[in-house]
Amino acid sequence: MKIYERYLAREIYAATALVLVAFLALFAFFDLIHEFEDLGKGGYQLHQAVTYVTLTMPGRVYELFPIAVLIGTLYGLTLLARHSEITVLRASGLSTAALLGSLAKIGIVFALLTFVFGEFIAPPAEKAAQELRLKATSEVVAQEFRTGLWVKDELSFVNVQEVLPDATLRKIRIYQFSPRYELLSISEAASAAFQPPDQWKLEDVVQTLFEGEQARVARSPEMEWRSALNPDIVPVLMVVPERMSLPTLYAYIRHLAENQQKTERYEIALWKKIFYPMATLVMMVLALPFAYLHSRMTAVSIKVFAGVMMGITFHMLNGLFSHLGVINGWLPFFSAITPSALFLLAAAGMLWWVERR
């Protein structure tokens, strides 16, 4: 790495780290205030709330990385431009293409960090946070659903009222259908515990069997139930796709496809997970045109404010195109890459404008 690239890297890394820490402190404060509402519920205490918020911070880092990189790069480059250092570099023969190449080298670190946080740090930390909170408050994961969780498993439809932190199921109903979708039986169980590799142990089972025009009821203290569901898939039903890891998303997409269910939302999330680290590079390109504007024309504070607004816009567009993709049946690849592509085009247009001035 050349001397000026090391200098740029130091300034951009320092500014981005400062912005990211400030964002995390702000979000941690508001998240902790939100947790105060549940203090005293069950055994939920202040130290557990602090631990919960701390464990959710890797997920916040993953979400905020592109925005922090945009603001940090914009701030770092603007300060260099204010001291005429960018002007000196350009006067020394440094072209825009060469400067973009230098920013790409610096940005690779941000892209790798975003990928590492999104795949290896945030998912297990988020799972640990939810388990800690649920155990402390004695709440059930599925309480927000009025009728519990509904899952299609081959020719069966499964309704689960409660899912405990250890993946134990409670109050289960299994509607078994024939290939012609004739209702064969309804099985109700008080609880179910998973037994590897592919079955559950149902307890306190009441079966209603439909035989022609007659129905009979059978009771059993225990019954084995084979299903494609497992403790790795069940938590997926209660987690937003954007917080899942790539292997988990891929496994659940296959599960949905095998059961002839819609996979668009999860496929979009899968592609977004692939492209999201690259968004940090797009943000750095977007920040470059601001460095070319003379500091007397635009104050540093105004440029930073513009960076904040662009970062918020990018975050909103990511969510908007995900929803539009599901509603309109767009290709998942298109829905995932469009926000980054739009911002890259905007950056190219701004660079063209400042170069022609």
Distance of alpha carbon 235 from alpha carbon 244, whole angstroms: 10
CA dist 298 → 76, 289, 317, 353 (Å): 15, 12, 26, 16
Q: Are residues 181 and 55 in the same domain?
A: no
Q: Are residues 8 and 134 in the same domain?
A: yes
Distance of alpha carbon 266 from alpha carbon 269, whole angstroms: 5
Does residue 291 sit within a domain? yes
Q: Are residues 103 and 218 in the same domain?
A: no
Does residue 234 sit within a domain? no
Select from 199, 227, 255 the last residue of a domain. 227
Q: Are residues 104 and 183 in the same domain?
A: no
CA dist 265 → 54, 103, 254 (Å): 28, 33, 13
Tokens 């496929």, located at residue: 267
Tens of pLDDT, residues 91-133: 888 888 999 999 999 999 999 999 999 999 998 898 788 778 8
* Domain total of the chain: 2
pLDDT attached to residue 229 = 79
Distance of alpha carbon 346 from alpha carbon 357, whole angstroms: 17
pLDDT attached to residue 294 = 59
Q: Are residues 110 and 171 in the same domain?
A: no
Maximum Cα–Cα distance for the chain, whole Å? 91
Indicate the SS3 state at residue 217: strand
Select from 198, 227, 256 the last residue of a domain. 227
Does residue 99 sit within a domain? yes
Q: Are residues 77 and 199 in the same domain?
A: no
Q: Are residues 7 and 134 in the same domain?
A: yes
Tokens 């513009």, located at residue: 306
Alpha helical stretches, state H, the chain: 3-35, 46-82, 85-91, 96-116, 122-137, 246-258, 264-275, 279-292, 300-328, 332-356
pLDDT attached to residue 141 = 47
Backbone angles phi, psi at 39, to 5 degrees: -60, 135
Task: With a cut of 70, list the residues of the chain below it in pLDDT.
Answer: 1, 138-147, 164-166, 232-239, 294-299
Does residue 235 sit within a domain? no
CB atoms within 10 A of CB 204: 13
pLDDT attached to residue 145 = 53
Does residue 245 sit within a domain? no
Indicate yes or no: pTM above 0.95: no
Does residue 255 sit within a domain? no
Q: Are residues 11 and 123 in the same domain?
A: yes
pLDDT attached to residue 272 = 94
Q: What is the DSSP letter of 236?
A: G
User: Could you list the residue range(s) of the whole structural domain that residue 13 is in?
Assistant: 3-138+264-356
Q: Are residues 305 and 337 in the same domain?
A: yes
Q: Are residues 165 and 114 in the same domain?
A: no
Does residue 146 sit within a domain? no
Q: Are residues 119 and 18 in the same domain?
A: yes
Does residue 105 sit within a domain? yes
Indicate the SS3 state at residue 346: helix
Ramachandran region, residue 271 (left: φ > 0; alpha: ψ -120 to 50; beta: rest): alpha
Encode 266-292: b = buried (16+ Cβ within 10 Å), e = exposed.
Answer: bbbbbbbbebbbbbbbbbbbbbbbbbb
Q: Are residues 33 and 130 in the same domain?
A: yes
